[in-house]
Amino acid sequence: ANNFAMKGKRKTLNAGDVLSAMEEMEFQRFVAPLKESLEVYRREQKGKKEARKDKDKKADSEEQDKSREEENDDDDERMEEEEQNEEEEVDN
């Protein structure tokens, strides 16, 4: 696997390097199960990553909704104060 990485001018081994080395060393019977396991692992990691993104997006949208509600509450309070002020002016 190290040789395959060196040929690719890389210092880091990847899954392809290991699988190629196993084929070269005549361990073909292990290659197919390893590939399947690798695909399952990658799908799980992708699912976790997407779930994390969805969770983050949901949290962000909830924060935005809360801030909008607070702004609306502030606007409602201002309108009530203005109405009270107008009523006081009419009474005077």
Domain that holds residue 23: 1-53
Give the pLDDT confidence of 21-79 residue by residue, as tens digits: 998 888 889 999 999 999 999 999 999 989 888 888 877 777 776 766 666 666 666 76
The length of the chain in residues reads: 92
Q: How many domains are contained in the chain?
A: 1
Query: Per-residue pLDDT for 92 more than 70?
Result: no
* Any domain includes 40: yes
- Of residues 52 and 92, more confidence is placed in 52
Own/partner pairs for 32-37, CB < 8 Å, 24+ apart?
none
Q: How confident is the model at residue 90 (pLDDT cuts 50, 70, 90)?
A: low
pLDDT score, position 46: 92
* Any domain includes 21: yes
* Any domain includes 84: no
This prediction has a pTM of 0.51
- Based on its alpha-carbon atoms, the radius of gyration of the chain, rounded to whole angstroms, reads 31
